[in-house]
Chain A
């Protein structure tokens, strides 16, 4: 797979993952414009990227999703759960396609049909009328319209633009950011269904204008006319929310085409042009007001000019529209104003001029996109008089400069714009003194006209010399561009093009090798500040750190041997000193690598809103998930291992603990249950809580159940306090679930949750208040990578004990260990501490009892205990690995670790160990 496709897949997945979370948020707050925008941008980006590959089904689907979002943004559509379901389905499908792309390098066979169906369903959300895309504007080449129906292709239909000026003015005035045009063509037989389409049309919300016309000529002979066959067509302009209008016409289905658009597009002057010099002056006056951003002055001047010049005609109509638009909010309105002022100066709308070949709009030629087929090599016009000839690209660029300079702009960008146009023109057309001069004059006179004229002259001159060639270039412009082969040798500024520099559009990556000369410029290359590193490389780095830790741990052995075996005391001291240095550096290295491995919890959290939403719908209980602190970070392994237990906890909360809505209501709670997922990061651990406001847990019930199931004995039934009783839910084989549902399965044991959490070195506790809710609290280490263990000896073997469990090491006279019934205990700091003998727990041979016993005092699950060992050894840093194979069944071991001298150390799982009698 090539790199570009790989990148596309990675970027799309990232966007999709974020998007599905956002869709759920959107369902909750459908009016949040920022959310809609973000989602729109995500779809827009995927769509744009997908255009680089041959994946029409995918492109079509995200495009449809994008259109839905545009409708939401415009207020034409309010998202409900069904809509979100569909959008999420679409996201799932796109994900599946990405998997296919990654696996096979292309989409599967059914993709087109699936894409078609999904896009159809998405578009159906937009209502029947929307299916008919707005007509492309006349001045746009067909290829462009096809290649890029932009998201905001929200243009009024042609008929709306052609309406009488007063009607359009009324709509402009009455409408806010959106006006709606409806073309309603009722069914011929609608009268028999009892419909009165005229009534429907007249009662449309915000009706500004209504037009009725026959959709076929009336019969010459009145006798032939059938009054009960409806042959009318209604056209409406409404100043109302598109959503309201669509709702009004919802029963009309496809008979009503509803277009929402920005009313500023209605500002099109009409009438006969008057001509004359004075309009340019008026325009100049207006241009200044426009540049100054003074809406009042602009309106006042337009109205004054209208009064002075008065009358009918195209130019006065221009002024009327300018006066109406002045002061209107929005980028579109400002652009329209600029266009109208420019139109007044030129005596025509800029778009209209572009029908003449010499003034073909630049850029259109390149609209086709990689997928478009077209003649590839339109030849540029070769100059035959020795001057540099202009190829098609050069001509387009020059035309762009002209068009840019003609477009009015804010005063502060004027100088910069002229300077940039000068730079482009001189690069493209070569050093032509007359061109440079024209630009200098334009700058001096603060009027772009000389520069515009110079460009026109250049284009006209070239065009006149080679009209045929230009026609070819223009013809090619629909889909392709006269490009690669276009620069003749005489064109000084353009070196000959690199051969075969074009990547295959469907295959993706531009396969061109780096051009020569690039390597030598290394020093100039800008610094890259962030790197995306493959996880495998980080894991490899971590393994190396682990090996370094092990190697470092070998140094104390070496020092001991130097001293004990070789009697080299001094050498031993030096080795120890070096060990201290290496130890420090290794620790810093570890910390640094671990920092790299930290990822935010949002990686796991972001899938939960969807989970809870699905559960909520499946269980028929309204449940809200509140997520907090998802920005907290932890080691990648911890975060990944967290997913499964959290899924269980959330399921349990939704399924078992949140009551059905009626029950909640009866208890005086809101019908909607709340489940809260909260993370808080601390120095070396992160706390994650899953809490709910459900029915809570009754310690008495749990105690009894635990007893019935044999989890606890009679004695504990009496002695366990409430909090301790609650923890019984984590015991193997315990489940409070009263019924089995498809959500939690066989009441997936909380014991499994605890086991998973403990596997990464975490702990879990539950707290509950009957009737008010339950909180399950997970405390997890930030990292599982490196742990510190203390080596102890028992029965001639070495074992590791995690240092976090160790409280202290003490030696007590053997006589101080008392026997209480069948157990041993010792009094430490005035507390009676149970004593366990490690040999016995592990079934090892016990040596002679010394006079003084070595006690390792540990604390597990809040309980203190003392372990009798033969000897204490040093503490070491180890990379702990889980037990594999048959050993994995021995739960008394937490894992193994490689020691510096090559031995394998078994690390004890104190919790399991001390549970043994």
Chain B
């Protein structure tokens, strides 16, 4: 499962497909202080990306792929500071 929804952290790994958007959104709505771990994320579907951008959860770990981090972190705006 590319999206693992924990108690405080949602971990996104590999390719996150369009079906992941809904559960991730639901999880973020239920966990307003929840964080996301993007370390092993390869590619989020646009719908998943939208969820992240709309709800702006803090990033606990940025993507290890520098090309992905280069545009994803600025897109997530505020999430960047905390994710460091």
Contacts and interface: CB of A to CB of B under 8 A. Distances in A.
A202 interface: yes
A38 B81 CA distance: 56
B61 interface: no
A159 interface: no
B57 to A, nearest CB: 11
B71 A227 contact: no
B53 A222 contact: no
Contacts of B50: 214, 227, 230-232
A251 interface: no
B45 interface: yes
Contacts of A222: 25, 28-29, 54-55
Interface string B22-51: 100100110000000000000111110111
A230 B18 CA distance: 12
B5 to A, nearest CB: 15
Contact of A198 (B22, B44, B55): B44
Contacts of B46: 186, 190-191, 195-199, 230, 232
Find the residue from A195, A196, A209, A228 having the highest chain B CB count within 10 A.
A196
A212 B47 contact: no
Contact of A196 (B25, B45, B51): B45
Chain A interface helix/strand/loop/mixed: mixed
A170 to B, nearest CB: 10
Contact of B25 (A190, A198, A227): A227
Find the residue from B22, B50, B53 having the highest chain A CB count within 10 A.
B50
A214 B54 contact: yes
Contacts of A742: none
Interface residues of B, number: 21
Given A209-B71, A218-B54, A228 B21 contact: yes
Contacts of A822: none
A211 interface: yes
A863 B18 CA distance: 89
B74 interface: yes
Contact of B54 (A196, A197, A211, A225): A225
A608 to B, nearest CB: 54
Nearest to A214: B53
Contacts of A218: 53-54
B12 to A, nearest CB: 14
Nearest to A195: B46
A519 B14 CA distance: 87
A191 B45 CA distance: 9
Nearest to A230: B46
Contacts of B51: 225, 227
A828 B61 CA distance: 112
A472 to B, nearest CB: 48
Interface in A185-216: 186, 190-191, 195-199, 202, 209-214
Contact of B29 (A195, A196, A209, A223): A223
A191 B18 contact: yes
B82 to A, nearest CB: 18
Interface string B1-22: 0000000000000000010011
Given A222-B28, A222-B29, A222-B54, A211 B75 contact: yes
Interface string A211-245: 11110001100110101101110000000000000
A818 B50 CA distance: 110
A711 to B, nearest CB: 77
A218 B74 CA distance: 16
Nearest to B51: A227
Contacts of A212: 49, 53, 71, 75
A99 to B, nearest CB: 54
Find the residue from A190, A227, A232 having the highest chain B CB count within 10 A.
A227
B55 A191 contact: no
Nearest to A224: B54
Contacts of B71: 209-212
B47 A227 contact: yes
A181 B70 CA distance: 18
A195 to B, nearest CB: 8
Interface string B60-80: 000000000011001100000
A198 B21 contact: no
B43 A227 contact: no
Contacts of B21: 227-228
Contacts of B45: 196, 198-199
A484 B45 CA distance: 65
Given A197-B46, A227-B22, A230-B46, A211 B74 contact: yes
A577 to B, nearest CB: 99
B56 to A, nearest CB: 8
Contacts of A211: 71, 74-75
Nearest to A221: B29
A227 to B, nearest CB: 4
Nearest to B20: A227
Contacts of A219: 54
B32 to A, nearest CB: 8
Given A202-B43, A211-B71, A218-B54, A232 B28 contact: no
Contacts of B18: 191, 196, 228
Nearest to B74: A211
B77 to A, nearest CB: 9
A190 B45 CA distance: 12
A199 B68 CA distance: 12
A210 B71 CA distance: 6
B20 to A, nearest CB: 10
A198 B18 CA distance: 11
A213 B75 contact: yes
Nearest to A217: B54
B54 to A, nearest CB: 4
Nearest to A192: B18
29 contacts: A186-B46, A191-B18, A195-B46, A196-B45, A198-B49, A199-B46, A209-B71, A210-B70, A211-B71, A212-B53, A212-B75, A218-B53, A222-B25, A222-B29, A222-B54, A222-B55, A223-B29, A225-B51, A225-B54, A225-B55, A227-B21, A227-B50, A228-B21, A228-B22, A228-B47, A230-B47, A232-B46, A232-B50, A232-B53
Given A202-B43, A213-B75, A232-B53, 12 more contacts: A191-B18, A199-B45, A199-B46, A211-B71, A211-B75, A212-B75, A219-B54, A225-B54, A227-B50, A227-B54, A228-B18, A232-B46
Which 7 A-B pairs have CB atoms at the shortest separation, nearest pair first? A198-B46, A227-B21, A210-B71, A212-B75, A218-B54, A197-B46, A225-B54
